[in-house]
Amino acid sequence: MASAMEYRPSLSASTCLAFHASPLAVLRSRCLSSPAKRPRTCFYPFSYHSTFTPSFRRLHNGVGISAAKRASRVCPIAAIGLNSAVQGGVNEALELLAATAITIPIFRRLKLSPILGFLVAGVLLGPHGTRLIKDVEDISSLADFGVLFLLFEMGLELSIDRLQKLRKYTFGMGSFQVVVTSLILGLGAYAMGGTLAESAAVGSALSLSSSAFILQILAEKGERQSRAGVATFGILLFQDIAVVPLLVLVPFLGDTARFDFTHVGDTAVSAIREGTKHVISVLGTLNFIVLVGGAFLRRVFNIVADSRSSEAFTATVLLTVLGTAMLTEELGLSMTMGSFLAGVLLAESSFRSRIKIDLEPFRGLLLGLFFITTGMSLDVSLFINQPLQLGFLIGSLIFWKTAICTLIGLPFGLSLAESVRVGLLLGQGGEFAFVLFALANKLGFLPDDVDSFLVTTVVASMALTPLLYECGVWLGRQIDKVVGSTGGTVTTEATIQDVAEPDSNFVLICGFGPVGRVVGRMLSRKFIRWVAIDIDMKRVKAATNSNLPVVYGDSQRPAEFLEANGLSAPTAFVITQSQDELVMDTLEAIRSCFPDRPVYLRAKNVQQQKEYLRRGARAMYPESFETSLQLGQSVLQGFNTSKVDIRSIKAEVRGDSGLEDAFQEYEEWFDKNIRRPGDVQGQAEKDLTERGQPEKDLTERGQAESDQAEETKLNRRSEENGASHVVLAKQNSTSNSVKTPEEGNG
Is the residue at 85 inside a domain? no
pLDDT of 634 reads 78
- Over range 119-142, report the average pLDDT: 77
Residue range 612-631, pLDDT digits in tens: 877 777 656 666 666 677 77
Would the pLDDT of 220 be above 50? Answer: yes
- What single string gives the DSSP state of each residue in 87-98? HHHHHHHHHHHH
- Over range 509-534, report the average pLDDT: 85
**Is there a single domain that holds both residue 511 and residue 465?**
no
**Is there a single domain that holds both residue 686 and residue 539?**
yes
Q: How many domains does the chain have?
A: 2
**Is there a single domain that holds both residue 686 and residue 627?**
yes
User: Which residue type is seen at 564?
Assistant: A
For residue 253, give its domain range: 138-475
Confidence grade of residue 660 (pLDDT, cut at 50, 70, 90): low
For the ranges 365-379, 530-544, 596-610, 650-664, the lowest mean pLDDT is seen at 650-664
Contact 534, 540 (CB under 8 A): yes
Q: Which of 570, 500, 565 is nearest to 226 (CA)?
A: 500
- Over range 296-310, report the average pLDDT: 83
Q: Which of 743, 99, 589 is nearest to 371 (CA)?
A: 99
Would the pLDDT of 239 be above 80? Answer: yes
Our measurement of the distance from residue 540's CA atom to the centroid of its chain's CA atoms, rounded to an integer in Å, reads 22
Is the residue at 457 inside a domain? yes
Confidence grade of residue 3 (pLDDT, cut at 50, 70, 90): very low
pLDDT of 182 reads 93
Contact 173, 204 (CB under 8 A): no
**Is there a single domain that holds both residue 453 and residue 567?**
no
Would the pLDDT of 300 be above 60? Answer: yes
For the ranges 55-59, 105-109, 200-204, the lowest mean pLDDT is seen at 55-59
The span from the CA of 208 to the CA of 239, in Å, is 6
User: Which residue type is seen at 720?
Assistant: E
pLDDT of 424 reads 93
The span from the CA of 274 to the CA of 260, in Å, is 20
The span from the CA of 405 to the CA of 228, in Å, is 12
Residue range 400-417, pLDDT digits in tens: 999 999 999 989 888 899
pLDDT of 6 reads 37
Beta bridge partners of 530: 507
Q: What percent of the chain has pLDDT over 90?
A: 9
Domain boundary among 419, 451, 475: 475
Is the residue at 524 inside a domain? yes
Residue range 449-480, pLDDT digits in tens: 888 889 889 888 988 988 999 999 999 888 88
Residues in the chain: 746
Is the residue at 244 inside a domain? yes
Q: Which of 395, 691, 404 is nearest to 527 (CA)?
A: 691
The span from the CA of 575 to the CA of 51, in Å, is 56
R_g over Cα of the chain: 31
Would the pLDDT of 35 be above 80? Answer: no
**Is there a single domain that holds both residue 469 and residue 560?**
no
Confidence grade of residue 278 (pLDDT, cut at 50, 70, 90): low
Residue range 44-93, pLDDT digits in tens: 333 333 333 333 333 333 333 333 333 334 344 433 344 444 455 677 77
Beta-sheet strands, E only, within 498-598: 507-510, 530-534, 550-552, 572-575
**Is there a single domain that holds both residue 467 and residue 556?**
no
User: Which residue type is seen at 137?
Assistant: E
288-305 CB burial, b ≥16 within 10 A, e <16: ebeeebbeebbeebeebb
pLDDT of 209 reads 92
3-state percent helix, strand, coil for the chain, nearest multiple of 5: 70, 5, 25
- Over range 716-736, report the average pLDDT: 38
pLDDT of 87 reads 52
CB atoms within 10 A of CB 477: 14
Domain boundary among 475, 499, 524: 475
Contact 455, 389 (CB under 8 A): no
Residue range 417-435, pLDDT digits in tens: 999 999 999 998 987 888 7
Count Cα neighbours of 440 within 13 Å in the Cβ-side half-sphere: 34
What DSSP element (H or E) covers 601? strand 599-601
The span from the CA of 694 to the CA of 378, in Å, is 60
- Over range 362-368, report the average pLDDT: 78
Q: Which of 645, 618, 185, 198 is nearest to 446 (CA)?
A: 198
Q: Which of 163, 216, 218 is nearest to 345 (CA)?
A: 163
pLDDT of 9 reads 33
Contact 582, 562 (CB under 8 A): no
pLDDT of 498 reads 37
The residue that leads in pLDDT, 143 or 13, is 143
CATH number of the structural domain spanning residue 436: 1.20.1530.20
pLDDT of 16 reads 36
- Over range 520-524, report the average pLDDT: 83
Our measurement of the distance from residue 479's CA atom to the centroid of its chain's CA atoms, rounded to an integer in Å, reads 31
**Is there a single domain that holds both residue 455 and residue 554?**
no
pLDDT of 720 reads 41
In terms of average pLDDT, the best of 9-23, 87-101, 419-433, 679-693 is 419-433
Confidence grade of residue 664 (pLDDT, cut at 50, 70, 90): low
**Is there a single domain that holds both residue 516 and residue 454?**
no
**Is there a single domain that holds both residue 181 and residue 309?**
yes
Contact 696, 740 (CB under 8 A): yes
- Over range 669-698, report the average pLDDT: 45
**Is there a single domain that holds both residue 637 and residue 733?**
yes
Would the pLDDT of 18 be above 60? Answer: no
pLDDT of 27 reads 31
What DSSP element (H or E) covers 473? helix 465-483
In terms of average pLDDT, the best of 63-67, 236-240, 264-268, 666-670 is 236-240
Preceding peptide of 35 cis, ω within 30°: no
CATH number of the structural domain spanning residue 701: 3.40.50.720
Is the residue at 74 inside a domain? no
Contact 283, 333 (CB under 8 A): no
Average confidence score pLDDT of the chain: 70
The H-assigned helical ranges of 126-226 are 136-156, 160-165, 167, 174-191, 196-206, 211-221
Say what the pTM is. 0.53
pLDDT of 392 reads 92
- Over range 492-498, report the average pLDDT: 35
Contact 453, 262 (CB under 8 A): no
Domain boundary among 475, 499, 516: 475
Would the pLDDT of 307 be above 70? Answer: yes
pLDDT of 728 reads 32
